[in-house]
A and B are shown apart, each in its own frame.
Chain A
């Protein structure tokens, strides 16, 4: 069975500060890993994904994530937060087809 843990249901940062959203997974084999973002009253949008190859993955809107097998982690980062980054972020893992999601982290960006 696979599972995803997102540490921190709420994260607040100042505009321009580093964003770090944590995700750890458990899986018997290396999974595919995803970060999705959900803006208020909108559907989920893919930020980035890791399947194979380079462990540092770059996504949209300046976000990136690094797959660390030894730590079973896939943390999401952005060097400088914008007000428009305020949203809910979901980490997800896939072994076969369906995604297993973490419980989400709501990011607040303070001016």
Chain B
């Protein structure tokens, strides 16, 4: 595909349920990032993958959050036992892994926890 794609575009879940969000990066992009955007706020970094290196998980807010990426392809972000404060838009981005390289963002997944 031409750009970063994410699915689902919208997800409504009940408090306490687990959710899984998917990101398909641009082909050939070795770096992949997950960010969270709460309503009316800027983006918060969650996690960064680069090739087969250990991911940078420094932005994950709690151990209920985890993410996986196989090689340089699809990534999934999993939130266990969702809480209302997890409601946000989750954005994925990918880039060629060079300093200062542009990150290309997907359209996001809007998560609503009831």
Contacts and interface: CB of A to CB of B under 8 A. Distances in A.
Q: Do A and B bind each other?
A: yes
Contact of B48 (A32, A43, A97, A101): A97
A103 B91 contact: no
- Which size class do A's interface residues fall under? 20 to 34
- Which size class do B's interface residues fall under? 20 to 34
B62 interface: no
Interface stretch (A44-52, A63-71, A74-82): A44-52
B95 to A, nearest CB: 8
Given A44-B91, A46-B102, 18 more contacts: A32-B99, A43-B4, A43-B91, A43-B106, A46-B103, A49-B102, A51-B99, A94-B99, A94-B100, A96-B99, A97-B31, A97-B33, A97-B48, A97-B50, A98-B56, A101-B35, A102-B42, A103-B41
